[in-house]
């Protein structure tokens, strides 16, 4: 009898929390098993290695992220509306996959050098292309300021959004959509009162 998909998901969620908290290299199968309340050997009934667990955690997160991003990018929105929708989708992903996002932030660069995780580098290129392309489209349309360095603007928005994983907790005071709205207000309109 194979393990239920629900149990597998629970174990992956537990593994994601341990990886996010302790880092991939410091995490052992025993630590994951302890957190899941089972013997380390029993975990191998579900997964062949901690690498397999991490792979499934990151691939699931990125598949969902790209499903949302592709919907936004294919919607034919204007540049500002596209940025707003991408930021909102990013916060929804932080809400749904907080631990996976934290792992991605800390580990993606090192992991991408391994053949099994080469898709992380591919995703990063695609991610950068989507954001830079939208910003460039906005400058060309006169929606975004032409005097800003596009790459620096992209890095600012990217880092401002994704670093939120360090403090955001699902089920907190603000919904992902409310946080996105506040962030977008600051990013797109600034914080100073206009005179």
Predicted pLDDT at 3: 67
Q: How far apart are CA 90 and CA 67, in angstroms?
A: 12
Mean pLDDT across 125-152: 96
**Who contacts 110 (Cβ-Cβ below 8 Å, separation ≥6)?**
none
pTM of the model: 0.90
Mean pLDDT in the chain?
Answer: 93
Mean pLDDT across 19-32: 95
Q: How far apart are CA 175 and CA 130, in angstroms?
A: 25
Residue pLDDT, tens place only, 47-81: 999 999 999 999 999 999 999 999 999 999 999 99
Mean pLDDT across 12-23: 96
Q: Is the model's pLDDT at 12 over the cut of 90?
A: yes
Q: Which stretches of 97-148 are DSSP H helices? A: 98-111, 118-140
> Rounded to 5, what percent of the chain is helix, strand, coil?
75, 0, 25
Predicted pLDDT at 192: 82
Q: Which stretches of 23-117 are DSSP H helices? A: 29-36, 40-43, 50-73, 79-96, 98-111
Predicted pLDDT at 31: 95
Q: How far apart are CA 187 and CA 183, in angstroms?
A: 6
Q: Is the model's pLDDT at 2 over the cut of 90?
A: no
Predicted pLDDT at 1: 54
Predicted pLDDT at 5: 85
């Amino acid at each position: 009898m194979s393990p239920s998909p629900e149990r597998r998901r629970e174990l992956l969620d537990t593994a994601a929390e341990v990886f996010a908290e302790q880092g991939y290299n410091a995490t052992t199968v025993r630590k994951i098993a302890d957190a899941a309340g089972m013997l380390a050997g029993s975990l191998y009934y579900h997964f062949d290695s901690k690498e397999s667990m991490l792979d499934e955690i990151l691939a699931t997160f990125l598949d969902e992220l790209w499903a949302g991003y592709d919907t936004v990018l294919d919607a034919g929105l204007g540049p500002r509306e596209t940025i707003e929708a991408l930021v909102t989708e990013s916060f929804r992903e932080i809400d749904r996959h907080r631990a996976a996002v934290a792992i991605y932030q800390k580990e993606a660069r090192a992991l991408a050098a391994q053949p099994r995780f080469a898709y992380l580098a591919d995703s990063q290129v695609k991610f950068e292309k989507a954001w830079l392309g939208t910003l460039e489209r906005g400058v060309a349309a006169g929606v975004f300021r032409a005097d800003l360095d596009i790459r620096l603007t992209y890095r600012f928005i990217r880092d401002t959004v994704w670093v939120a994983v360090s403090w955001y907790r699902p089920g907190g005071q603000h919904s992902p959509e409310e946080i996105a709205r506040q962030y977008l207000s600051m990013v797109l309109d600034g914080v100073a009162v206009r005179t």
